[in-house]
A = this chain, B = another copy of it.
Amino acid sequence: MKEIYRYVDEHQKEYLELLRKFLKQPSISTSGVGMSEMVLLLKNTLKDMSFSVEEIKTDGYPIIYGVLSGKGKRTLSFYNHYDVQPVDPIDEWEVGPFSGTIKNGMIISRGSADNKGQLLSRLCAIDAYQKVYGNLPINIKVIYEGEEEIGSPHLADFRQLYPDKLATDGIVWEGGERETNGPAHITLGVKGLLYVELRVRTANIDAHSCNAPIWPNAVWRMVWVLNTLKNEKDEVLIEGFYDSVKPLSNKDKYHLKNIPYDEEEILSKMGMKGFINNVTGEQLVEKYLYTPTCNICGIKGGYVEKGSKTVLPAYAIAKLDFRLVPEMKGEQIIKLLRKHLDKHGFSDVEIITIASQPTYRTNYDNPLVNAAIAASKEVYRFPPVVYPTDPGTMGAYHFCNDTGIPCVMYGVSNMFSQIHAPNENIYVEDYILGIKMSASVIDKFARHY
């Protein structure tokens, strides 16, 4: 590996320039700006690196699929996306959002962290491997989506239509973070998500609030509905909600101890007085990663502008998201919720399902995980922080849920990378380390770690 690490160091400039070229090309899937140019640049880059490339059409933006054969039998896939978020609020950018600016050791541009820096660190690793050794020790597949920032509407189709293209021995997903000057994070799964909207209607139209003594109020009803779902102790009161939550394994407990969480910095940055139930330490991280949630994302009903309007609201909505842990299923939670509402006299309350995404976890003892841990130790000189699951939900479940394909996430960003926000950035150092990391993962995965 030393030859590769040296090669990467010597070709830093070239790999940085390639990233800047990608960053200077806007590719906003929400508006369509620059998407076709980006597709062309991406395909040409892959071809330059000897990939055989296919542009897979969808009803939206294409999936760019590339294959590169190696010596060994194993196949490793990389999932990334070539689209980026819009740049609003533009006034808050210190540099042009598509300038590819490098300043104070940072690469500042829309897409640097999410997801072009991640994408290119992996491609450059493949390039370096070829340049140094002439060929790769395993087969590589890359799957580059152009619609991640608009909800991946065609990823499920891809799995359905192209089982052969999906077939692989492991996937490295989108990206990941590194602690400042410290270890890398390796994440082995995602939480599931159930997103619903509750709707309460008590009359055709809003009325004058002088009728409040005798006419029903939709907002009051919504308050009473929600109050039955979770209490102030943060206990979800839906019968059966926690039934399929499994206790932590010894491995879970082992890794938990190593997961950092800077409580004071987070409380001070967010202006919060404390965490729910004043939990701290290891228990806090356990709650963060291992408990399912019932969260109100939004609520609205009646008059909410400035000043006063004396109105009796006829309609109220609340948006809830449930983050699920294995083995919870979205469909099952909807059933439990319906039963709960009916039982509490709220059978008139409508439940609209907006999204349902399964959980996914890769086993700890897995050749890909082993390779990633070993590579991480070697490249970052620290044992990695292993997250059994991301606290959020990512598209990895599309490919990995019930296919048995192992999946890991790691990458070149950090907790201050301002993903989706102005001045999105990564460190130059982390980009270069990321190239080495992927090269090392390929190497170790080939050696059957």
Contact = CB atoms under 8 A, between A and B. Distances in A.
Instruction: Give this chain's copy count.
Output: 2
A173 interface: no
A304 B299 contact: yes
Contacts of A271: 203-204
Interface string A389-427: 011110000000000000000000000000000000000
Nearest to A290: B213
Interface residues of A, number: 73
A297 B309 contact: yes
A304 to B, nearest CB: 4
A227 interface: yes
Contacts of A230: 220
Given A220-B296, A270-B205, A214 B308 contact: no
A232 B209 CA distance: 18
B321 A297 contact: no
A264 to B, nearest CB: 14
B220 A223 contact: no
Given A204-B270, A307-B354, A210 B223 contact: no
Interface in A203-252: 203-205, 207-217, 219-220, 222-224, 226-227, 230-232
Contacts of A314: 270
A279 B214 contact: yes
A226 to B, nearest CB: 5
Given A270-B205, A391-B213, A297 B288 contact: no
A260 to B, nearest CB: 14
A299 B312 CA distance: 12
A152 interface: no
A272 interface: yes
A291 B213 contact: yes
A269 B210 CA distance: 17
A195 B310 contact: yes
B219 A299 contact: yes
A213 B276 contact: yes
B317 A304 contact: yes
A311 interface: yes
A97 interface: no
Contacts of A205: 270
Interface in A44-67: none
A326 interface: no
9 interchain residue pairs of minimum CB distance: A298-B302, A210-B392, A204-B271, A212-B295, A300-B304, A210-B391, A298-B303, A212-B293, A227-B227
A140 interface: no
20 contacts: A211-B288, A212-B295, A213-B276, A213-B293, A213-B323, A213-B391, A214-B279, A214-B287, A223-B226, A270-B314, A295-B312, A297-B310, A297-B312, A297-B313, A298-B309, A299-B299, A299-B301, A299-B302, A303-B319, A310-B393
Given A223-B227, A232-B224, A317-B304, A217 B296 contact: yes
